[in-house]
């Protein structure tokens, strides 16, 4: 890994205790603090991808994402620091007032807009295939950075936790989109904790998808709770906003409304429903995504204007 990225790294990421119940120990693993630009699960997922790019002297990387994607934001920031050319194929229109895309273009990322229908079928779409062909031999990183190298990076969290705590926690709780981060934890050889996954979207497929990505390793440690999607991906309500505001003011831990707000809400609700046994040690993995807060606020003002 390049020294340029190591300069600002906070690893192992801090474990911050929060008081959610008298009979439980809850620690927040602040992966959101790992790096000022490449934070949360983006650091974990990009680490070995960037190593691969650097060690193979590749000078161009292409990825995919929605217009508010944390992944394209992090990749744009990393490529700017490493002076690697980067391109993102964006789902739908490119609006440069959107703070995420603004950051990406300012960082030097090339943005290519494709229709939502082309994006949906990106593996088969002739236009997208043509773009990728014309950029050969650029390194292609999938949407959300979800690949084997990403899971290798995530798997390191379990050792990091044991080194800091002296023992594995009983539970690791985290948000999910593609499920790649959760699958990375399950792929760890040293995982002993139960992994509670709280999807940010409405899906009944996430459990089998995570099992498939993790090749059924540590299958018995996986629990997916689909009760806290708040209507679907990037949807939320007043109740969630109120929860986030109160949580932030009592803990000083920021949460976004797309991923960590929902998963933390889910954890608090599960605690209030006595899901966890007395004395349980719980680590909530903060997966970052805070750049997305400004994007979501911008999206909302646009929808409401
Ligand atoms: C901040 C944040 N948290 C959680 C996730 C979900 O991660 P995964 O797609 O690996 O399940 C994402 C999306 O990548 C994200 O940006």
1 has pLDDT over 80: no
Question: Which protein residue has the closest C-alpha to ligand 1 atom 13?
Answer: 177
pLDDT of residue 301: 81
pLDDT at 305 over 80: no
pLDDT of residue 113: 98
Is the pLDDT at 303 greater than 80? The verdict is: no
**Ligand 1, closest atom to CA 69?**
16
CATH 3.40.50.1100 domain residues, the chain: 3-34+150-304, 43-145
pLDDT one-digit tens code per residue, 166-179? 999 999 999 999 99
pLDDT at 2 over 90: no
Residue closest via CA to ligand 1's atom 14 equals 144
Q: What does the DSSP assignment read for the chain?
A: --HHHHTT---SPPEEEE-S-TT-EEEEE-GGGS-SSS-THHHHHHHHHHHHHHHTT--EEEEEE-TT-HHHHHHHHHHHHHT-EEEEEEES---TTSHHHHHHHHTT-EEEEE-HHHHHTTTT-HHHHHHHHHTTTPEE--GGG-SHHHHHHHHHHHHHHHHHHSS--SEEEEEESSSHHHHHHHT-TT--SEEEEEESS--SSHHHHHHHHTTTTTGGGEEE--S--TTSTT---HHHHHHHHHHHHHH-----TTTHHHHHHHHHHHHHTT-SPTT-EEEEE----THHHHHHHHHHHHHH-
Ligand 1 atom closest to the CA of 288, numbered from 1: 1
Provide the CATH topology of domain 43-145.
Rossmann fold (3.40.50)
| Average pLDDT over every residue of 275-292 | 97
pLDDT value of residue 67: 96
Output the CA 123–ligand 1 centroid distance in Å.
Answer: 21
| Atom of ligand 1 at shortest range from CA of 176 | 11
Confidence of residue 249 (pLDDT cuts 50, 70, 90): very high
Identify the CA nearest to 284 among candidates 5, 46, 14, 84: 14
Mean pLDDT rounded to a whole number for the chain = 96
If you measure from the C-alpha of residue 199 to the centroid of ligand 1, how many angstroms do you get, rounded to a whole number?
A: 9
Provide the percentage of residues in the chain whose pLDDT is more than 70: 99
Ligand 1, atom 15, lies closest to the CA of 289
Q: What does the pLDDT read at residue 221?
A: 98
Distance 288 CA to ligand 1 centre (A): 8
CA 178 / ligand 1 centre spacing (Å): 7
176, 211, 291, 295, best to mutate for ligand 1 pocket (most atoms within 8 Å of CB): 176
Of 111, 187, 103, nearest to 146 (Cα)? 187
Q: Kindly give the distance from the C-alpha atom of residue 246 to the centroid of ligand 1, in angstroms, as a whole number.
A: 23
Residue 250: predicted pLDDT = 97
Per-residue confidence (pLDDT) for residue 295, from 0 to 100: 84
Rounded percentage of the chain residues whose pLDDT exceeds 90: 92
Question: What is the tens place of the pLDDT at every residue in 188-199?
Answer: 999 999 999 999
What CATH number does the domain located at 3-34+150-304 have? 3.40.50.1100
Confidence at 296, pLDDT banded by 50, 70, 90: confident
pLDDT digits 0-9 by tens, 180-232? 999 999 999 999 999 999 999 999 999 999 999 999 999 999 999 999 999 99
Span 6-52, pLDDT tens digits: 888 999 999 999 999 999 999 999 999 999 999 999 999 999 999 99
Centre of ligand 1 to C-alpha 287, Å, is 7
Residues with CB under 6 A from ligand 1: 40-41, 70-71, 144, 146, 175-181, 259, 287-289
pTM of the model: 0.96
Nearest atom in ligand 1 to 174's CA = 4
The tokens of 227 are what? Answer: 């009760």
């Amino acid at each position: 890994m390049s020294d340029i990225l190591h300069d600002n790294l906070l690893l192992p990421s801090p474990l911050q205790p929060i008081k959610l119940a008298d009979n439980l120990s809850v620690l927040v693993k602040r992966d959101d603090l790992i790096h000022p630009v490449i934070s949360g699960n983006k650091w974990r997922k990009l680490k070995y991808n960037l190593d691969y790019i650097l060690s193979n002297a590749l000078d161009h990387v292409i990825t995919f994402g929605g217009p508010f994607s944390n992944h394209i934001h992090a990749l744009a920031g990393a490529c700017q620091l490493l002076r690697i050319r980067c391109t993102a194929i964006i789902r739908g229109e490119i609006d440069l007032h959107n703070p995420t895309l603004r950051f990406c273009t300012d960082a030097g990322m090339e943005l290519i807009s494709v229709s939502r229908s082309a994006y949906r079928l990106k593996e088969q779409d002739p236009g997208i295939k043509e773009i990728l062909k014309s950029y050969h031999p650029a390194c292609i990183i999938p949407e959300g950075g979800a690949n084997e190298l990403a899971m290798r990076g995530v798997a390191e969290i379990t050792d990091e936790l044991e080194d800091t705590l002296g023992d594995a926690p009983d539970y690791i709780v985290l948000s999910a989109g593609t499920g790649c981060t959760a699958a990375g934890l399950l792929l760890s050889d040293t995982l002993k904790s139960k992994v509670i996954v709280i999807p940010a979207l409405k899906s009944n497929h996430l459990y089998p998808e995570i099992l498939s990505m993790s090749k059924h390793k540590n299958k018995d440690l996986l629990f997916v709770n689909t009760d806290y999607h708040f209507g679907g991906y990037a949807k939320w309500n007043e109740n969630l906003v109120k929860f986030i505001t109160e949580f932030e003011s009592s803990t000083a831990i920021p949460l976004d409304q797309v991923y960590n707000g929902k998963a933390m809400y889910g954890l608090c609700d599960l605690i209030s429903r006595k899901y966890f046994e007395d004395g349980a040690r719980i680590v909530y993995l903060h997966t970052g995504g805070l750049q997305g807060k400004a994007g979501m606020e911008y999206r909302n003002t646009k929808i409401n204007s």
